Amino acid sequence: MGGRNVRIDYQYLDSYPPIPNDILHQYRHELGIEDNEFYRTHWALKDEDLSLGLRHAGYPEVPFSNQPLVNVREHVFDVALSFPGEVRAYIETVARQLVRILGNNTVFYDNFYKSQLAMPNLDTALQDLYGNRASLVVVFLSEAYANKKWCGIEFRAIRKIINAKQDEMVMFIRFDDAPVDGVFAHDGYIDATTHSEIEVASMIHERLRLLQP
C-alpha cells in the first residue's frame, strides 16, 4: 500500500463450494452487498465478517490460508495460544493477524489444526506442545480460563516453564481480574479490554522478536 494505491493479493479456493447468486442476494445485508452490486463486476472492501455471514447461510468457514501440512506432535511453533472458548472470536483475529506477520504454521491455534486434535490422549499431546514446542506461549486469562478443564491442562505445562524461571517464554493477556491458580498479583500482563486484536498481535510479535536473535 502506498499513497492512494492498494494492492490486493487473492487466491481461488478450488475446494470451496460455489456460492449461487441467490444465496448472496438472500444474505446481502449480512455480507454488506448493495443491490446495485449484483449487476456489475467490481472489487469492493466490506466491513463485514464474511466467514460468519456464510456460516449463517449454511456454508463452511472460509479458510484463512492453505497451510502446508505439519505434524502437531512434532512441529515447533513460534507462538502457542492458550485461551477459553468464550473469547474465541478475539483470539481468532489475533491468530490470523500473527500468521500474516509470521507466516504459515508459526502459530498454534486449535482451529488451524482441527483434524489432528481429534485424537486420544490429547491432554498429553497439548502439554508437550505448550511445554516444549513453542518459543512463546501466550495465555489469555479470565474467569472462564480459571474454570475450564482444558485451560487447566494447558496451564500445567505453562507452569512448568514458569517454575523453570523461563519467564520470557510466557506472556499474559487479561480480559478481567479474576484469580487464576498459579498467576499472582505482581505478574505483568496486557489488558485486552483496552487493546484491539491487531495491537495485541503486534505486541506478541514484539515479544517474539526479543526471543529470536
Q: pTM (2 decimals)?
A: 0.75
DSSP 95-106: HHHHHHHH-TT-
Domain ranges of the chain: 1-63, 77-211
* Alpha carbons 106 and 80: distance in angstroms, whole number: 9
Per-residue pLDDT of the chain (213 residues; tens, 9 = 90+): 456 777 766 666 666 678 888 888 888 888 888 888 888 888 787 887 777 777 777 777 666 566 789 999 999 999 999 999 999 989 998 998 899 899 999 999 999 999 999 999 999 999 999 999 999 999 999 999 999 999 999 999 999 999 999 999 999 999 999 999 999 999 999 999 999 999 999 999 999 999 977
Report DSSP state, residue 2: B
> Any idea which residue has 504459515 for its cell?
104
Give the pLDDT score at 3: 65
Give the pLDDT score at 57: 78
Give the pLDDT score at 17: 76
Other Cβ atoms within 10 Å of 43 Cβ, number: 7
List of residues 6+ apart from 126 with CB closer than 8 A? 150, 153, 154, 157
* Alpha carbons 35 and 25: distance in angstroms, whole number: 8
The top-level CATH class assigned to 77-211 is alpha beta
Give the pLDDT score at 28: 86
Give the pLDDT score at 15: 62
